[in-house]
């Protein structure tokens, strides 16, 4: 059995994730601060709700940041695989927050539909909605890009969460436009439409996190891992192959079949070659190789 880790590569990935979290936290914080100033000036209830959403989205960086930092801790006798799963738990928190945003948006929309209220200072509200949408969409794209690059389902889900708050900000813009046209029903109806959009984003985020919790991997990664193993000189067959995500790190366990007459040293060298080849699989950082003897005679050519 042979295993190996690439610690410097791990640290680089985690630093990228942490950098994405803190940059987006500052970006969303600035967006919310601008909106809060306009809320104080305009008294817009719709914009107040959007500002609260943006503050909530910014704060989801906290559990994710804690998860990334936990992931750096060394494995222990109790947590022999380390603490990478903390990232998946943070993803569950993010999904729960997205669900809460959908419920809150729907409740506010229904309340506004039953009890219409005029919107004042419409140009300011319109501008604040555009600021909120632009800020959230930029943060969403950044989080999703980095999350997919480092293999973090939780960071991707958090990026999708930022996108839901961008939709909420866009609702403020559309509602302000409707109010300018004299449509008192525009605000709540747009709010309900945005709730539906948030539910679609919730489905995508929940699927990302569910797949990670259930140890699902892209079948193309499994195919590539098989090709890499079979390309190793001395490997006759693959007796087993399993891949799993632990946080944003991909781990592999593989069984390879080699000539039964090989010495222990020669079999070990083949296992080491196989392990090295597996690191060609994107984001695969650790592999455990088991060697099985090939007891079936091969016909002479």
Q: What's the CATH number where 187 sits? A: 1.20.1510.10
Of 8-17, 33-42, 222-231, 264-273, which gets the smallest average pLDDT?
Answer: 8-17
Contact in structure between 173 and 47 (CB atoms under 8 Å): no
C-alpha 252: how far from its chain's center?
Answer: 21
Regarding whether 167 and 102 lie in a shared domain, the answer is: yes
Domain limit, last residue, from 176, 191, 213: 213
Burial 262-301 (b: 16+ CB within 10 A, else e): beeeebeebbebbbebbbebebbbbbbbebbebeeeeeee
Per-residue model confidence as pLDDT tens digits over 65-75 = 888 888 888 88
The first and second tokens of residue 104, run together, are: 């809150």
Confirm whether 27 is domain-assigned: yes
Domain limit, last residue, from 198, 213, 228: 213
- The CATH number assigned to the domain holding 252 equals 3.30.70.1350
List the one residue out of 43, 46, 172, 52 whose CA is nearest residue 100: 52
Regarding whether 155 and 68 lie in a shared domain, the answer is: yes
Regarding whether 288 and 173 lie in a shared domain, the answer is: no
Domain limit, last residue, from 194, 213, 232: 213
Residue range of the domain that includes 260: 219-294
Sign of dihedral through CA atoms 145, 146, 151, 154?
Answer: negative
Regarding whether 258 and 174 lie in a shared domain, the answer is: no
Confirm whether 301 is domain-assigned: no
What phi and psi, each to the nearest 5 degrees, are found at residue 257? -105, 125
List the one residue out of 164, 47, 51 whose CA is nearest residue 99: 164
List the one residue out of 50, 62, 137 whose CA is nearest residue 101: 50
> Rounded distance, CA 136 to CA 194, Å?
15
Per-residue model confidence as pLDDT tens digits over 132-173 = 889 889 989 999 999 888 888 888 888 888 888 888 788 778
* pLDDT range class, residue 131, cuts 50, 70, 90: confident
Regarding whether 184 and 72 lie in a shared domain, the answer is: yes
> Rounded distance, CA 116 to CA 118, Å?
7
Regarding whether 230 and 91 lie in a shared domain, the answer is: no
Count other C-beta atoms under 10 Å from residue 21's C-beta: 23
Confirm whether 187 is domain-assigned: yes
Regarding whether 165 and 102 lie in a shared domain, the answer is: yes
Domain count within the chain? 2
Identify the bridge partners of residue 292 per DSSP, sorted by sequence position: 257
Regarding whether 173 and 112 lie in a shared domain, the answer is: yes
pLDDT for 265 equals: 96
pLDDT of 226 higher than 90: yes
H or E segment at 240?
strand 237-246
Regarding whether 209 and 273 lie in a shared domain, the answer is: no
Contact in structure between 201 and 156 (CB atoms under 8 Å): no
Length of the chain: 301
Regarding whether 100 and 240 lie in a shared domain, the answer is: no
DSSP symbol at 63: H
């Amino acid at each position: 059995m042979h295993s190996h880790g690439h610690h410097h590569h791990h640290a680089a990935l985690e630093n990228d994730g942490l950098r994405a979290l803190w940059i987006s936290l500052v970006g969303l914080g600035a967006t919310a601060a601008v909106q809060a100033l306009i809320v104080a000036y305009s008294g817009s209830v719709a914009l107040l709700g959007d500002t609260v959403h943006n503050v909530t989205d910014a704060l989801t960086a906290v559990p994710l940041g804690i998860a990334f930092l936990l992931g750096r801790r060394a494995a222990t006798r109790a947590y022999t695989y380390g603490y990478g799963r903390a990232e998946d738990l943070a993803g569950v928190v993010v999904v729960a927050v997205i669900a809460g945003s959908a419920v809150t948006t729907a409740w506010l929309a229904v309340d506004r539909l039953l009890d219409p209220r005029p919107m004042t200072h419409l140009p300011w509200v319109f501008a604040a909605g555009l600021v909120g949408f632009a800020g959230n969409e930029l943060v969403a794209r950044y989080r999703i890009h980095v999350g997919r690059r480092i293999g973090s389902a939780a960071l991707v889900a958090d990026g999708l969460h930022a996108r839901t708050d961008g939709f909420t900000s866009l609702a403020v813009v559309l509602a302000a436009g409707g109010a300018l046209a004299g449509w008192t029903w525009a605000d709540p109806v747009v709010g309900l439409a945005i709730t539906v959009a948030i539910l679609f984003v919730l489905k995508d985020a929940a699927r990302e996190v569910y797949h990670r919790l259930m140890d699902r991997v892209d079948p193309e990664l499994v195919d590539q891992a098989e090709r890499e193993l079979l390309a190793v000189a001395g490997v006759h067959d693959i007796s087993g192959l399993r891949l799993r995500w632990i946080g944003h790190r991909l781990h592999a366990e593989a069984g390879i079949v080699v000539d039964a007459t090989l010495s222990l040293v020669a079999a070990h060298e083949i296992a080491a070659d196989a392990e090295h080849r597996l690191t060609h699989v994107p984001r695969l950082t650790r592999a455990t190789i088991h060697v099985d003897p090939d007891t079936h005679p091969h016909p002479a050519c």
